[in-house]
Every structure is written in structure tokens, then in C-alpha cells.
Amino acid sequence: MAEDLTPPVALSGITTRFGTQCVHEDLALEIRRGEIVGLVGGSGSGKSTLLRIVALLDCPQAGSVRLFGVDAGTASAAELNALRRRFSMMFQQGALFSSLSVRENVALPLQEHTALPARLIDELARLKIALAGLPADAADKLPDQLSGGMIKRAAVARALALDPELLLLDEPTAGLDPLGAAAFDELVLELRAALGLTVLIVTHDLDTLWRVTDRVAFLGERRVLACAPVAELARAAHPQIHAYFAGPRARAAATAAGG
Ligand SMILES: Nc1ncnc2c1ncn2[C@@H]1O[C@H](COP(=O)(O)OP(=O)(O)OP(=O)(O)O)[C@@H](O)[C@H]1O
């Protein structure tokens, strides 16, 4: 079968304003199938807002948002519903329901969006929990009985419930200790290898950039200043990008990655 070359994410001409503040102006970004792309930039540069636009949670004032070739601006309600089934977003705090067990949290999207029998939903939920690298006995625990790293994995399990092709991650390693963060990085790589996922990660974690991403999109001056492999960005001459990668922490991450 011919490879599908339609990009899962294609943004062009994106302009986003909050009142008089212009956050994005004529911004473009394209992500290829199976790619892991990091989204970085200074605080307030509009990363989370851009992720919400890709997740169809926010609508830009101008520009086109195409997901899997479908223009979200002109799609019908039915087309948008179908599109929403093809991607999944993991929020920073996990956004799990605290009164539901991990298994119930993961089962929820399956109950809402499929007509599968309860027993099968239960089996699928357990499968996703295993896929996210959680032990089987985590299934019956409540979120507040889990460590920070396990909560992130439970959120991943839920994000995988409906077999998305595109995963949107908002600072997934924030709040994790270095070992937990490194384990999460490995999980992202494993999921891409096993499921062929396309992944967009907003992150401040320089180790994640070096370890996991194929390309990094750098947000600055209201647009994507560059989108390139991290080793290339780390050598970029643009003052903002240079400053970002010239800091002591960035240099340490690069050295650790052999970059
Ligand atoms: N709903 C909103 N209403 C008004 N202003 C907003 C809203 N959402 C974001 N902004 C503003 O848009 C700008 C970009 O915010 P955003 O959260 O996307 O930045 P960010 O790059 O993710 O920042 P950080 O790295 O600090 O999380 C900020 O100045 C923020 O105050």
C-alpha cells in the first residue's frame, strides 16, 4: 500500500489574538506522519495556545488548521467529530477524574465514543494501562494513590484509549524527577515505535528535546522561527534561538546527548 504522505498537522497563516495582544502572526508549522516534534520557546511565546489550536480547543483569528488533510475551519460537525477521534491530548496535570480508578478513567472515552460491551471495554482499558507501562495492579487505584510518574502514565493510557494517530503532550515531564522524566521519554519513543504515533510535545525539558524529538519548532516573534533537528537548532545564529541553547543547562543536555 502506498504510504500516506498527508501531514497529520499543517498550520498556515495562523494569527491568534487575545484582546489587543497578538500571540501568533502568520505562523506556519507542518508535522509529518510518525514524527516526534518538540515545541519550545520563551515563557508566554504561545506554545500552549498553539497546542490548544492544534487540538481544536481554541480557534485562531486567521489562518488554516489542517489535520490529516481536513481543513478544520470548513469541516462539517460530523467531519470534526471524526477528526477528534484521530488525535488525543494529554494535559499537564493529567486531568484524571479523582473519584474514578485508573481503569475507569481509561474506560471513559471508550464508553462515551463506542458501543463496545462492558467486558471488552474493561479488557481494552487494561491493555492501554499495560501499554503505558503501568503495572496491572495500578488499574484499580485512584489517581491520588499513584506517584507523579504513574499519574502521567495513566493519563497516557487514557489518551491512547481510542487508538489516536496523533498525540499532543503539554509538558509531560514537568514535575517528574530526572529518572521519572527519562523513563517517560523512553515511553514516548516506545509508543511511536509500537503504534506509529505522530507526537507534538510542548516542553521546557532539554533532555527530552535531545533524546526524543526528530525536530524542534522554536516559537518566537509570534511565529515558528525554525523547525529543525535539535542539533541544528543548537547551532542556529538567530539571537533568540542561540540564547535558548547557549544557557548552561542547555549545554549540559547537549553534552549528555553527545550533541
Ligand atoms: N485565554 C487567554 N486569555 C487571554 N490571554 C491569554 C489566554 N491564553 C493565553 N493568553 C496569553 O497568551 C500568551 C501566550 O500564552 P501561552 O500559555 O500559550 O504561552 P506559553 O508559551 O505556553 O507559556 P509558558 O511557557 O509560560 O507556559 C501569554 O501572554 C498569555 O498571557
What pLDDT score was predicted for residue 94?
62
Cell (9 digits) for 123: 479488557
Distance from C-alpha of 28 to C-alpha of 155, rounded to nearest angstrom:
29
Angle ∠(212,187,129) on CA atoms, nearest 5:
155
Residue whose CA is at the smallest distance from ligand 1 atom 26? 43
Ligand 1 mean position, distance from CA 21 (Å) = 10
Ligand 1 pocket, residue 114 CB under 6 Å:
no
Pocket lining: 23 vs ligand 1, CB cutoff 6 Å: yes
Whole-number CA gyration radius for the chain: 18
Q: Does the pLDDT at position 2 exceed 80?
A: no
Residue nearest to atom 31 of ligand 1 (CA): 44
User: Residue range 107-115: average pLDDT?
Assistant: 91
Ligand 1 in reach of 97 Cβ (< 6 A):
no
Q: Indicate the residue type of 200.
A: L
Which residue has better confidence, 125 or 148? 125
* Mean per-residue pLDDT over the chain, rounded: 91
Q: Report pLDDT digits (tens) over 76-95.
A: 999 999 999 999 998 776 68
pTM, two decimal places: 0.92
Q: Assess whether pLDDT exceeds 80 at residue 255.
A: no
Q: What is the pLDDT of residues 4-34, one digit of tens each?
A: 789 999 999 999 999 999 999 999 999 999 9
Residue 49 CA to ligand 1 center (angstroms) comes to 6
Higher pLDDT, 63 or 253: 63
pLDDT at 246: 81
Asked whether 16 lines ligand 1 (CB < 6 A), one says no
For residues 114 and 117, give the distance between their C-alpha atoms in angstroms, rounded to a whole number.
9
Q: At residue 96, what is the residue type?
A: L
Label residue 180 by pLDDT band (50, 70, 90).
confident
Q: Output the residue whose Cα is nearest ligand 1's atom 13.
A: 44
Question: What confidence tier does 149 reach under pLDDT thresholds 50, 70, 90?
Answer: confident
| pLDDT attached to residue 50 | 97
According to the 3-state scheme, what is the secondary structure of the chain? CCCCCCCCEEEEEEEEEECCEEEEEEEEEEECCCCEEEEEECCCCCHHHHHHHHCCCCCCCEEEEEECCEECCCCCHHHHHHHHCCEEEECCCCCCCCCCCHHHHHHHHHHHHCCCCHHHHHHHHHHHHHHCCCCHHHCCCCHHHCCHHHHHHHHHHHHCCCCCCEEEEECCCCCCCHHHHHHHHHHHHHHHHHHCCEEEEECCCHHHHHHHCCEEEEEECCEEEEEECHHHHCCCCCHHHHHHHHCHHHHHHHHHCCC
What's the pLDDT at 108?
93
Contact yes or no for 217/224 (Cβ under 8 A): yes
CB-based contact 214:193 (threshold 8 Å): no
What pLDDT is stored for residue 259 in this prediction?
65
ipTM of the modeled complex? 0.96
